[in-house]
Amino acid sequence: IAGGDAIYGGGYRCSLGFNVTDGSSAYFLTAGHCGNVASTWYSDSGQSTEVGTTQDSQFPDNDFALVKYADGVDHPSEVDLYGSSQPITQAADAQVGENVQRSGSTTQVQGGSVEALDATVNYQEGTVNGLIQTNVCAEGGDSGGPLFDGSTALGLTSGGSGDCSSGGETFFQPVTEPLSTYGVQIG
Ligand code: TYR
């Protein structure tokens, strides 16, 4: 499965961020607040087709998690554009003013721009620092999904306000941090 696809666990739905590898095994990144709610993830809402198991989850403070793929699950280095797909070949830090897109299982593909870096958000569970602030909309279930600029991975959907009907403000965990924390790369 690809970035932006639905993942189900613990009765919740989130979105897959980016497929990554440590050189021998396949993993994907998603949000830490998603990783916190399930140890096993499935590709179907009935939670019968397993896609992987949560290896580590960091939320609050950060908002990222690492999930190890179950054997035999396809894991292309792509984001699902819900009608086509976007190959992902590298990761980078976002820049203020950069035009970006995100993909997720509730509102599919949405775009906007980066408004600020190193933003702080106070969630009910605690504070997350270092987030990418954007004017891209998102809704519940889009969490964990990818923020990207063309073939470059930038972030993971964390949270925000508004919606995709009236417009929203969404904060993203920079992807470079889980890549270095876990010693994995896009792939
Ligand atoms: N935090 C939401 C989730 O867990 C995602 C979300 C993002 C919701 C931005 C609302 C919002 O404005 O799926």
What is the C-alpha to C-alpha distance for residues 68 and 40, in angstroms, rounded to an integer?
10
- Three-state DSSP at 35 gives helix
Distance 99 CA to ligand 1 centre (A): 20
Residue 174's pLDDT is 99
Cβ(168) – ligand 1 distance below 6 Å: yes
- 136 alpha carbon – ligand 1 mean position (Å): 11
Q: Whose CA is nearest to atom 2 of ligand 1?
A: 140
Pairing mode, if any, of strands 90-91 and 152-163?
parallel
Residue nearest to atom 1 of ligand 1 (CA): 159
pLDDT tens figures, 71-110: 999 999 999 999 999 999 999 999 999 999 999 999 999 9
pTM of the model: 0.98
Q: Give pLDDT tens digits for 46-77.
A: 999 999 999 999 999 999 999 999 999 999 99
Distance 24 CA to ligand 1 centre (A): 32
| Marked catalytic residue, from 5, 15, 43, 63 | 63
Provide ipTM, 2 decimals.
Answer: 0.94
Q: What pLDDT band is residue 132 in, cutting at 50, 70 and 90?
A: very high
H or E stretch covering 34: helix 32-35
How many residues does this entry show for the chain? 187
Q: Are 40 and 53 in contact (CB under 8 A)?
A: yes
Ligand 1, pocket-test mutation among 131, 156, 157, most atoms within 8 A of CB: 157
Give the separation between CA 171 and CA 128, rounded to whole angstroms. 10
